[in-house]
Amino acid sequence: MQPPPAQPGMPEDEVDTPALILDLDAFEANLDAMAGYLAPTGAKLRAHAKTHKSPVVALQQIRRGAVGQCVQKVAEAECLAWGGVPDILVSNEVVSPRKLARLAALSRISNVALCADDADAVALAEQAAEAAGIRLSVLVEIDVGAGRCGVTPGPEAVVLARRIAGSPHLRFGGLQAYHGSAQHIRSPEGRAKAIGAAIDQTRRTVEQLRQQGLECGIVGGAGTGTFPLEAASGVFNEVQAGSYAFMDADYAANEAAPPFRHALFVLAQVMSVPKQGLAVVDAGHKALPTDSGFAKPWQRPGLTYAGASDEHGNLRVEGGAAPKLGEKLRLVPGHCDPTIDRFDWFVGVRGGRVECLWPIAARGAMH
């Protein structure tokens, strides 16, 4: 683990770079806003910890009404459970016997559940639960358009749910129905169309399960891009947004989206101004992964982050104040999830000063 790049009380401009800055006013406003959006709907928040990787953040979400957390990895579930999070869904398939044994062990201190899309995977979960002497909750993942994991909605899901419900060591936990690619469709009409189809498929599957006497404790899915649709559907009772707390350049490009604020920045320092029109900062793609595009300079018109190498970011300067050697500036990450996972500390800032340091305890927790 890297040492913290700041101390509480320090002005932001003294923070060592590159550093992950959390604007606490914006962050708390985002948490409050999500609670406000969901209050009148039938859905609760189960925030996705693959984004924030931190029990500190998780507990603040739960304090505002979240029923628990999602994770993608057993190692993330461990980190949250050890940090006091009482209810955790692995919104993903787990097929390694050793990982399943760890998850079953975890169920002694937290409510845990996982997803399955294959009868062989269900059998592995069953063996782990039996060996641990516990009953493990398993959701059926259905593919509602993402084209990734999941069985086909409808009868195929019912067959798998019956397999789970029929086991003395498992409990049928409900449906996982996340449409990942729909989150980033720019137009609200496009998102509504994709999620409308996902809702229809999910509703139909819930009804077919009910006809078999199988009730869905959880019907979960949705992300920051589409959660108002799922939350209003009457079908989904949990939404799994994660990025809303931080926002990034990619989600900010969605049109007519709930106005969450940019709360997450990488603070970078200008380390070279080699010629007119170019400034080089000390945050490249190791600090700012480029899977969803480049970072954007924050409130600096005329600057464009135009190229990344491992540890260098090239800023094109086309007007505005030219960055000076040694100057520090905020960059909005292209994608918050992998960016947070690059750092060991959130540097919480309020009113220009460092207020807190929070460890990103599940950084690198991929197992």
Give the count of alpha carbons within 13 A of 54, CB side only: 21
- Single out the residue of 8, 147, 155, 234 in contact with its own copies (rule: CB under 8 A): 147
Of 28 and 93, nearer to its own copies (C-beta) is: 93
Residue 160's CB is within 10 A of a number of other CB atoms, namely 22
Please identify, using beta-carbon distances, which residue of 38 and 247 lies nearer to its own copies. Answer: 247
Using the minimum distance from each CB to its own copies, give the nearer residue, 289 or 348: 289
Amino acid at the residue 230: E
Question: Smaller CB distance to its own copies: residue 39 or 95?
Answer: 95
CB of 219 within 8 A of CB of 202? yes
Residue type, 41: T
Do the beta carbons of residue 126 and residue 101 sit within 8 Å?
A: no
Contact 77, 361 (CB under 8 A): no
Q: Is 237 in the site for its own copies (CB under 8 A)?
A: no
* DSSP letter assigned to residue 13: G
Tell which positions 337-366 bind its own copies, by CB under 8 A: 337-338, 341-344, 363-366
Which sign, positive or negative, has the C-alpha torsion 186, 192, 197, 199?
positive
Q: How far is the CB of 41 from its own copies (least distance, A)?
A: 26
Minimum Å gap between C-beta 32 and its own copies is 26
By the rule CB under 8 A, 278 interacts with its own copies: yes
Q: Which of 73, 87, 153 is nearest to 115 (CA)?
A: 73
Distance CA 261, CA 33 (A): 10
- Six-digit token string for 30: 């985002």
Count how many residues are written for the chain. Answer: 367
Q: How far is the CB of 189 from its own copies (least distance, A)?
A: 24
Enter the DSSP assignment of 245: G
Per CB under 8 A, does 153 bind its own copies?
no
Interface size with its own copies, residues (CB under 8 A): 64
Stretch that binds its own copies, among 187-195, 204-212, 255-263, 333-341 (CB under 8 A): 333-341
Nearer to its own copies, 150 or 333 (CB): 150
Q: Which residues contact its own copies (rule: CB under 8 A)?
A: 1-2, 5, 16-18, 50, 72-73, 75, 92-96, 98-99, 117-118, 120-121, 124, 143, 147-151, 180, 269-274, 278, 280, 282-283, 285-287, 289-291, 308-312, 314, 325-326, 337-338, 341-344, 363-367
